[in-house]
Amino acid sequence: MMTRPSNRSLAAIIGSVAAAGVLALTPLFEGTVTKTYRDQGGVLTYCTGATEDAQWGRTYTPEQCKAQLDRDLARHAEGMMACIHVPMADGQKIAYTDVTYNIGVTAFCGSSMARRTNAGDAGGGCEALMAWNKIGITENRGLTRRRAAERDICLRGLE
């Protein structure tokens, strides 16, 4: 599933409470690096986990990184929201936007997270986050911590 640039703000897509949560969570796990680098999976990356149009040796300002993150989160949130067809709590929107930013819209929309959520199993969708803690076939401690944090946020507010 190709994601196109969003013309809407993150808050317009997922709501202001969820947007504030994502803007706090994603940089915490991604970090911000103002030069291009290879991430743990070998993907050319820059700023706060951005990969689109990455160019080796380029340097970015903090303002450019913030603007890139805003655009990227909005684009990923829009893609995530397009494949979830049931109402979600803010915690689900925060967790699912963060994981979608990390794994991509296509992977999220084809995941058990999306399938379970759409089937009405909100808790099961949140628990399915834990399956996405590997680089290749190897479990990654950082991803395990990130998925546990996303799961906890996702489950918060569910009844």
Please give the Cα distance from 110 to 108 (Å, whole number).
Answer: 5
Angle of CA points 3, 84, 25, to nearest 5°: 70
Which two tokens mark 126? 């949140």
The pair of three-digit structure tokens given for residue 143, joined into one six-digit string:
């991803």
Helix, strand, coil abundance in the chain, percent, nearest 5: 60, 10, 30
- φ, ψ for residue 88, nearest 5 deg: -125, 150
Task: Give the separation between CA 147 and CA 116, rounded to whole angstroms.
Answer: 17
Q: Which two tokens stand for residue 90?
A: 């803010």
- Residue 135 pairs in a beta bridge with 138
Point out the catalytic residue in the list 39, 70, 121, 127. 39
- Annotated catalytic, 39? yes
Token duo for residue 62 = 């903090």
Catalytic residue among 30, 72, 90, 98: 30
- Catalytic residue annotation: 30, 39
